[in-house]
Amino acid sequence: MEALLQIIENSNTTKPTFRKTNDLFAIRQFLKEVPEILVIIFNKQFKFLINSVFGEKYFAVKSIYFDKPEDSNWFVAYHQDLTISVDKKMEIDGFGPWTVKHQQFAVQPPLSILEDNFTIRIHLDDTDEGNGALKVIPKSHQKGIYRPETIDWSIETECICSVKKGGIMFMKPLLLHASNRTTNQRKRRVVHIEFSRITLPESLQWSEALRNDLISD
């Protein structure tokens, strides 16, 4: 963990993919922007875990580093991760709506892609309810597109996903999740990596595709 954090600390934060405010430091396209961390994250144990749980066909398609400071007021309301990062905007049936920020393209793909993808969150600090551990609604990923304003709390429950430093969390993009403000004066640093095994249609490509089997140990 310390080697990874040192590399992040020494990285160039002036790039447009780096976002720094009083409440949050984030690096989008993390694996592309800080490639030195690849050999640390994608070690033999990590790749074995991915292959054992999901099979050998999945590859990384999106990555973000989040650093939530000790006194952060940043919070995230319940939502699903409904978009994927791609290399261009195209008119393709089932893909939309689109967003474009800083020449980075995001689109909501067909439901089947979101259902098949998965996310791994690597925790670089002990994380609990006091410093923004994810809150999730169990099994909500099995209900398709689930708008937060339609959550029926008479039947749904909430689970706090506390994770120790060095631990990882698997989740599906369609899982409804949220994060509270920090109340215990402790950092929360997380590496968020999304995986897919889908080849996108026509000439559309994943903008951050990084095949697991091409990363050297």
pLDDT at 21: 74
This prediction's pTM: 0.92
Say yes or no to pLDDT of 214 above 50: no
Q: Confidence band (pLDDT; 50, 70, 90) for 20?
A: confident
**Alpha-carbon Rg for the chain in angstroms:** 17
| Element containing residue 188 per DSSP (H, E) | strand 188-196
Say yes or no to pLDDT of 93 above 80: yes
Say yes or no to pLDDT of 201 above 90: yes
pLDDT at 24: 73
Distance CA 91, CA 96 (A): 9
Distance CA 206, CA 88 (A): 9
pLDDT at 212: 57
Distance linking the first and last C-alpha atoms of the chain:
17
Nearest one of 167, 215, 208, 174 to 191, comparing CA atoms: 167
Whether the CB-CB separation of 44 and 217 falls below 8 Å is answered with yes
Q: Which residue has the higher pLDDT, 119 or 24?
A: 119
pLDDT at 215: 55
Q: Could you state, in order of their start, the residue ranges of all structural domains in the chain?
A: 2-10+18-210
Percent of the chain surpassing pLDDT 90: 77
Q: Confidence band (pLDDT; 50, 70, 90) for 5?
A: confident
Burial group, residue 131, by CB count within 10 angstroms (0-12, 13-18, 19+): buried
User: Residue 142, SS3?
Assistant: helix
What's the CATH superfamily of 2-10+18-210?
A: q2cbj1_9rhob like domain (2.60.120.620)
* Arithmetic mean of pLDDT over the chain: 92
Q: Which residue has the higher pLDDT, 7 or 142?
A: 142
Mean pLDDT within 40-61: 94
